[in-house]
Structure 1
Amino acid sequence: IWNASLKAQKNFNNGLYTMLAYSYLDAKDVNSIEAEITSDAFAGNPIINDANADILAPSKYGDKHRFIGVASKNWEYGNGKWASTLSTFFEYAQGGRFNYTYGGDINGDGSGINDLIYVPTSAEIGQMQFSGAGQGAAFDAYIAQDDYLSDRRGQYAERYGALAPWRGRWDVKFLQDYKITVSEGKTNTIQFSVDVLNIGNLISSDWGLVQQPNNVQPVGVTVDPDTNVPTYTFNPELTETFGYDASLLSRWQAQVGLRYIF
């Protein structure tokens, strides 16, 4: 594992605080376990041939590149009874590692989810047996539009070697405080808060979106038990690697709060 971070921050006399940081992570492991049961973790660990081989490959966890920034400004007024704070946080990162595996058991190990695909050249695709007309040409075009796969032609895809596109996020928080004197020398605070998460998506529906792979098993495969010849299946409608995540990761959210601090 190799990690490096840079950070700069400053507190200003007028109540302004700023921070900017960058981190780089290059982590590798032999199994990015994704299961609670050992047998499931073993069966799901992406491999080429031998599930028992400890092959060092990129780890699923952590962002390769990550920029974060914070800015916060506090105002006090009304003889110290009132205070307002406006804060913002942004993140711009690249991570989201994933695999390309066959939809099927090409190596006969009993698992249909763990076999890393071989990325064929255009000439090799012409020699492959597909289940329908036009599937080979569609698969070739799919590889060509994918930066990672096109760079791996003639080789196997790596375990967690592929990266999702950069993602950006911008959050804003507002706090309003009112101090109440409850006894001599003692004050309590009523605090109202508003948080807007992923505010960029509130401003524009094209901002703050997260992209995810459309299909991490783009190629199906069955193997004839008599001839040991594989037949491949590829959906010609699959033309792009990534699509926009429709979950809350790509949606703006807001929450309000009220606290009594004593």
Structure 2
Amino acid sequence: FVWPGAMFNTNGTKQGGIFADVDFTNGIVNAPQFEPDVNNQPTAADIFGGTDAVPQGDVNLFVEDFKFPQVFRTSLGVAKTFGDGWNVSLDGIYTKTLNNIVYQSVNFENNFTSTPGPESRIQYVSNAAVDSRYRSIYVGYNTNEGHSFNFSTGVDKQFENFFGSLFYSYGDSYALNEGTSSQNSSQWRGQVHDVGGRNNPVFGRSDFSAGHRVVGTTAYKFDWNDEKNVATTVSLFYNGQSGTPFSWIVGGDDADNFSNENGSTSRNRTLFYIPQSRGDINLMDTDDLTADQQWALLNNFIENDDYLSDHRGEYAEKNSNRLPFESQLDVKVLQDFGLTLGDKRHRFQFSADIFNFGNLISKDWGTTWSTNDSFSYQTILNLQGFDTDGSPIYTFTDDSLDDERFNINDISSRWRAQIGFRYLFD
């Protein structure tokens, strides 16, 4: 794995940097001159004073007994064939996390206060480095929190010129951290959190929770002339599945580091607190909407979402919602025919496929969806800063309801067609 390998090249000395502040009124402040000599690069001392000889860098560490991800998995399946070619199956699988990866950023003091009001999120008093030789120090360790399961059942039948099958499955999975990034700093900044910041990620539904799925296939062959191998086969394939799970988060540049942490905070995962009433949230006027107008829109937005309306006064759970259910139908037509030349018979086959056939009929069918943010997160509020008492100040400007809240995936939502030709050897 690449994670522990980073301890060798991200050790605080091989990689580092110095940063110049930008003032758009007065230009770049304390900007160093370009130095082409790789052995004579500017240091923090050249800009900020002091005696630092080496630019600050990050450090990646792992606990001594760290273990690579491990799971326990068990499965059971039953299949039965009945008379006349009916086949029925039932399968189940359960997975328990034994060891997965989670992170903490440790190069700042664990001294914090809490924002006033019902949200009460922690905020660190200072994110200054405890060890000023380094910028951020990330420590990876293990967790055994997490599990998943999947259940499926189905039936299929072969007739003389017809085949049909129908299968259903349901799966769900839960995790503390997904462990999907190759960089340790990215793993830490991507940890989903509510009250306690990234160092205290929340356990919840995994990004890979499957949900419901229905798969159906059917094919019928029309034999027009057996001697000349003239036949037409029409096949249908249907796939319907639950949308991708997503979390409601707070957006805005200030939300990237809501808790004032030391570390790479460019990826925001701050879960949304669902206000019970107008007094639970501090909204500010925008150029277009007053705070009260925004509350009316936000309140209506919450009321139109089943999950949000049922969990007022709570933090939205990790991956609490799903994108709309997705359904697509594919159609395939095969045309076979034979040709006898001399003593030899030649067989040919033309094929035509239409993927997402429903979208060919209606622009509203066969749609697939994504959230308005990357990594399956949906921004509901933008953090604009903090009031004098430390309470967060928000704006809300999106009053889109139902499916209008999400983005349509242009490519996968369109119908597509392909044609083919084959020569079949006897």
Does TM, normalized by the shorter one, top 0.5?
yes
Tell me, in whole angstroms, the C-alpha distance in 2 between the residues paired with 1:112 and 1:193.
47
Equivalences for residues 89-238 of structure 1 within 5 A: 89-103=237-251, 104=255, 105-109=257-261, 110-111=265-266, 113-125=268-280, 127-132=281-286, 133=290, 134-179=293-338, 189-214=347-372, 216-224=378-386, 227-235=389-397, 237-238=398-399
Task: Identify if the C-alpha distance between structure 1 residues 34 and 180 changes in structure 2 by more than 3 Å, giving closer, same or farther.
Answer: farther
Aligned equivalent of 2:400, options 217, 235, 239: 239
Displacement of 1:261: 4.1
**Pair member with larger Rg:** 2
Displacement of 1:108: 2.2
Contact between 1:214 and 1:241, CA under 8 Å: does it hold in 2?
no
Does structure 1 residue 257 correspond to structure 2 residue 257? no
Output one character per residue of 1:108-148: Cα deviation in whole Å (capped at 9) or x when no partner: 233451111111112444x5243441222221121111122
Identify the range of structure 1 (200-209 vs 238-247) with the bigger mean alpha-carbon deviation. Answer: 238-247
Equivalences for residues 29-68 of structure 1 within 5 A: 29-48=175-194, 49-53=196-200, 55-68=202-215
Task: Identify if the C-alpha distance between structure 1 residues 25 and 182 changes in structure 2 by more than 3 Å, giving closer, same or farther.
Answer: farther
Displacement of 1:62: 4.2
Structure 2: give runs of 5+ residues left out of the alignment.
1-147
Contact between 1:213 and 1:242, CA under 8 Å: does it hold in 2?
no
Amino acid at match of 1:217: T
- Look up the SS of the partner of 2:359 in the other structure: helix
Structure 1: give runs of 5+ residues left out of the alignment.
none
Contact between 2:387 and 2:393, CA under 8 Å: does it hold in 1?
no
Identify the range of structure 1 (39-48 vs 151-160) with the bigger mean alpha-carbon deviation. Answer: 39-48
Taking only aligned residues, the RMSD between alpha carbons, in angstroms, comes to 2.7
Task: Identify if the C-alpha distance between structure 1 residues 182 and 24 changes in structure 2 by more than 3 Å, giving closer, same or farther.
Answer: farther
Contact between 1:22 and 1:66, CA under 8 Å: does it hold in 2?
yes
- Look up the SS of the partner of 2:309 in the other structure: helix
Matched residue count:
258
Tell me the percent identity: 31
Contact between 2:174 and 2:203, CA under 8 Å: does it hold in 1?
yes
- Matched with 2:108 is none
Identify the range of structure 1 (207-216 vs 192-201) with the bigger mean alpha-carbon deviation. Answer: 207-216
Tell me, in whole angstroms, the C-alpha distance in 2 between the residues paired with 1:218 and 1:241.
14
Report the TM-score when normalising by structure 2.
0.55
Identify the range of structure 1 (158-167 vs 219-228) with the bigger mean alpha-carbon deviation. Answer: 219-228
Does structure 1 residue 25 correspond to structure 2 residue 184? no
Contact between 2:193 and 2:201, CA under 8 Å: does it hold in 1?
no
Displacement of 1:210: 3.1
Output one character per residue of 1:143-187: Cα deviation in whole Å (capped at 9) or x when no partner: 111122112211111111211122211110111234567998x97
Report the TM-score when normalising by structure 1.
0.86
Amino acid at match of 1:44: G
- Matched with 2:154 is 7
Displacement of 1:226: 6.5
Amino acid at match of 1:221: L
- Look up the SS of the partner of 1:218 in the other structure: strand
